Structure 1
Amino acid sequence: MAPIRLGFIGLSSTGWASISLAPPLFNPLLASLYSITALCTSSEASAEAAAVKYSKLAGHAIKAYHGDQGFVDIANDPNVDMVAVSIKMPHHVKAVWPAIEAGKDIFIEWTVGSSFEETLKIAEAAKKKGIKVLVGAQATQGAFLKKVKELVESGKIGRILSTSLITTSAYFGSSTTEGGAYLIDINNGANALTIPVGHFLVALSYAIGDFTEISASGIIQHPTVRVLGADGKPTDKTLQKTAHDQVSLSGIVRGQDKNTGAVFATFQVRGGFSLDGERGRGRTVFKWTIDGEDGTIEVQDTKEEGAGGAFIQMGEKRVLLNGEEVKLELGEEDQLGNAGKAWLEFARGGRYVNIDDAVRVHRVLDAAQKSIVEGKKFVLE
């Protein structure tokens, strides 16, 4: 099978795509399945620099595009089969739309659109064109989550009664960088609710089920945010925050399995906490509990395993059954990491998070945001 020729919007020499999404594509397990043939960044200089870097890694020339026109050019490049989009959330629709119109399969980083309406718009357009969509919410590829699903479905803890989550993030607090300033605006759709909760809801849906009733609360504890300079020190500049520092959700989750009927669920995302040094000592970074009539499953992460531990999609986590750690069965493919395994599943037609999954999760997030604003419970179909 010929490799999928990939045009990558947002792949520069530094940043998220260069750290997490692109490296697995050069692994021998994926190198024959994908070939990066083009990339697009915000400026001509950064695009040229990235093209030089990745051409060396790929062993062939990679075309460089830039700016908004680059979204169109990369979509219409005859040497591109699939377009990947990994840029700031407010620009997702603008970046992905030419690829959809060109009938190209797409990868798009979670949260897809900046709202439920935008995500639904992308989903409907993609379906109309008959294209496949790989969504960058990779927790479902984790060996830990597959183990959780196996334990739930095997009846190891009996009928599930409740599930709870506490996760702590250094983001969404009293300071931001120039590049991360978009995170503090609730209208940009990249915040404590949509990112950590959104990724977790993808995992929850896979392992247990989906919310059918939901209530949510949020608080803005730092309405004025300091902007940090390139050296990490505070500048004189401040911005007003409209996105919440901390959010909590509660409600009813229903699954299809005999062991997952109606489950009471509570989640809390705690933002703006230091995870380093004395101030981070003893903090719960990530703790997900599933209580059944006959036992308990717990999923844990700690700051020693990386600050990304607060996010369920970021690497493997510990699984405990009734207090005893369960060994995870890791194979050759696990060297790819969750992002790499998602690329692999897409290429071979396996199980990956698709646009329907994204719409389903965004519907829950939309109800949660409305609940925060309106102060009432929402019942989902």
Structure 2
Amino acid sequence: MAERLGVGIVGLSAQGGWAARSHLPALRGLEQFEVRGFTGSSPESVRVTADHYGIDRGFTDPGELARQEDIDLVVVTVKARAHAEQLKSILPAGKPVFCEWPFCRDVTEARDILALFEAAGARTAIGLQARHSPQVRFVRDLVAEGEIGGILSTTLVTSIPYWGSTAGSRDAYLLDGANGSTLVSIPVGHTLDGLEFALGEITQLSATTAVRQPHVVHRETHETLLKTTPDQVAIHGLLRGGIVFSFHCRGGVNSRTSAFFWEINGTRGDITLRSPCGELQYNEPEILLTRADGAPKPVAAPARYRGAVPDALGPEPRSVAHTYLRVFDDLATGSCLVPDFSRAVRHRELIDMIERAGRTGACQSV
């Protein structure tokens, strides 16, 4: 494998968005990668974006981008509702693909895409970046080393400002569950993957979901929009080994105390994570370690967990950069540090179970 991987970004825009905010600065901050092309929605958009970011090659067709000889990795950053179409266009090139989470619009579409990529033998990665954060990896190791004894239970409460009583042109699509980008699929999905990575997979769950703020005012046009997806999600159940978990995600809430609170209770102590940011996928929470007979003490993830990710990057690109370093290792060594499309489908199935449990009130076995 080349010392530097040539990357093509599907969905980069000079108008901003997740690719511009996180993927591009992350890639430019890592010496292992070089951005060599991108796609935009129109020839005019491509021209403006190329000039804005100083990237020579832009395309409107993801397939054409993927066919370029010096593109080693194709990164799909468009909204979930466009994943299937873009991924089908990329597949014939046979290049490794890194796709953002949430994966496709729903579990059926995700299974169809997985079948195509498995049949082609393509290498895939999914952007569930919470598990790659230094804090989550450090907590996972503390738990595995028995730092607080056997794990009894865990409680996680988080507040998200989106999915509330207002929305703008860039986030109004989040109100419609048919687009696949919901409170359950995005912040709940990311956070639960981090929780499972640290403590073990969910084996049983029950859920309560509600739309507490159904009428949403558009911030620019002032028209009233209808929200069709839950803005309150409460889940409880069991993790592998019988660990009891409880998780409440509060949409449209700017917490007046802590937007993120995660406590892990063990037989010999507790681990607490807290932060003013409610989304674990680009969070850098404070970690407190409490022995059974002592007071909470701050502990920090050692420098080895941060690796080569530059401190100068902001929290969002830092979180993505940690994922990219593991993508690089996977492609160089054949390891499987980053979840692939198979794991993405399993996680989509978990999201489907949560939504079904919220509708029916029935306990779900995972």
Q: Normalised by the size of structure 1, how large is the TM-score? A: 0.86
Q: Is residue 261 of structure 2 the alignment partner of residue 290 of structure 1?
A: no
State the partner residue of 1:232.
none
Counterpart secondary structure, 1:348? helix
Once the two structures are TM-superposed, the CA of residue 21 in structure 1 deviates from its matched residue by 1.0
Counterpart secondary structure, 1:236? coil
Once the two structures are TM-superposed, the CA of residue 54 in structure 1 deviates from its matched residue by 3.0
Counterpart contact for 2:98–2:126, Cα < 8 Å: yes
Counterpart secondary structure, 1:270? strand
Counterpart secondary structure, 1:300? strand
Once the two structures are TM-superposed, the CA of residue 378 in structure 1 deviates from its matched residue by 1.0
Q: What is the identity, as a one-letter code, of the residue corresponding to 2:262?
A: W
Partner of residue 333 from structure 1, selected from 293, 302, 308: 308
Once the two structures are TM-superposed, the CA of residue 226 in structure 1 deviates from its matched residue by 0.9
Deviation string 1:264-283 (CA, Å, 9 cap, x unpaired) is 1110000112x3xxxx532x
Counterpart secondary structure, 2:326? helix
Distance 1:99 1:48 in 2: 21
State the partner residue of 2:293.
none
Counterpart secondary structure, 2:149? coil
Deviation string 1:131-160 (CA, Å, 9 cap, x unpaired) is 221211211221111111111111121111
Q: Is residue 168 of structure 2 the alignment partner of residue 183 of structure 1?
A: no
State the partner residue of 1:262.
242
Counterpart contact for 1:202–1:357, Cα < 8 Å: no
State the partner residue of 1:65.
59
Distance 1:103 1:154 in 2: 40
Partner of residue 252 from structure 1, selected from 234, 238, 246: 238
Once the two structures are TM-superposed, the CA of residue 332 in structure 1 deviates from its matched residue by 4.6
Once the two structures are TM-superposed, the CA of residue 327 in structure 1 deviates from its matched residue by 2.1
1:122-271 matched pairs, under 5 angstroms: 122-229=113-220, 235-254=221-240, 261-271=241-251
Deviation string 1:221-253 (CA, Å, 9 cap, x unpaired) is 122211111xxxxx3322211011111111111
Q: What is the identity, as a one-letter code, of the residue corresponding to 1:5?
A: G
State the partner residue of 2:288.
320
% identical equivalent positions: 30
State the partner residue of 1:16.
18
Q: What is the identity, as a one-letter code, of the residue corresponding to 1:290?
A: I
Counterpart contact for 1:115–1:362, Cα < 8 Å: yes
Q: Is residue 325 of structure 2 the alignment partner of residue 344 of structure 1?
A: yes
Structure 1 segments unaligned to the other structure (5+ residues):
56-60, 230-234, 255-260, 303-308
Q: What is the identity, as a one-letter code, of the residue corresponding to 2:252?
A: G
Q: Is residue 27 of structure 2 the alignment partner of residue 25 of structure 1?
A: yes
Partner of residue 97 from structure 1, selected from 52, 65, 88: 88
Deviation string 1:187-213 (CA, Å, 9 cap, x unpaired) is 212111111110012112211111111
Q: What is the identity, as a one-letter code, of the residue corresponding to 2:264?
A: I
Q: What is the identity, as a one-letter code, of the residue corresponding to 2:354?
A: A
Q: What is the identity, as a one-letter code, of the residue corresponding to 1:159?
A: G
State the partner residue of 1:258.
none
1:264-283 matched pairs, under 5 angstroms: 264-273=244-253, 275=254, 280-282=255-257
Distance 1:333 1:76 in 2: 30
Counterpart contact for 1:140–1:353, Cα < 8 Å: no
Q: What is the identity, as a one-letter code, of the residue corresponding to 2:7?
A: L
Seen in structure 2, the aligned counterparts of structure 1 residues 79 and 332 have a Cα distance that, compared at 3 Å, is closer
Give the number of aligned pairs: 346
State the partner residue of 2:34.
35
Distance 1:21 1:63 in 2: 17
Q: Is residue 111 of structure 2 the alignment partner of residue 120 of structure 1?
A: yes
Distance 1:131 1:238 in 2: 44
Distance 1:223 1:21 in 2: 33
Deviation string 1:22-50 (CA, Å, 9 cap, x unpaired) is 112112xx33x322222111222221122
Counterpart secondary structure, 2:12? coil
Counterpart secondary structure, 1:162? strand
Once the two structures are TM-superposed, the CA of residue 363 in structure 1 deviates from its matched residue by 1.7
Counterpart secondary structure, 2:21? helix
Residues 334-343 or 147-156, more deviating = 334-343
Counterpart secondary structure, 1:216? strand
Distance 2:329 2:146 in 1: 31
Seen in structure 2, the aligned counterparts of structure 1 residues 342 and 236 have a Cα distance that, compared at 3 Å, is closer
Counterpart contact for 2:28–2:35, Cα < 8 Å: no
Distance 1:201 1:236 in 2: 34
Once the two structures are TM-superposed, the CA of residue 338 in structure 1 deviates from its matched residue by 2.1
Residues 324-333 or 139-148, more deviating = 324-333
Runs (4+) of structure 1 exceeding 4 A deviation are: none
Distance 1:196 1:362 in 2: 13
Distance 2:344 2:307 in 1: 28
Counterpart secondary structure, 2:19? helix
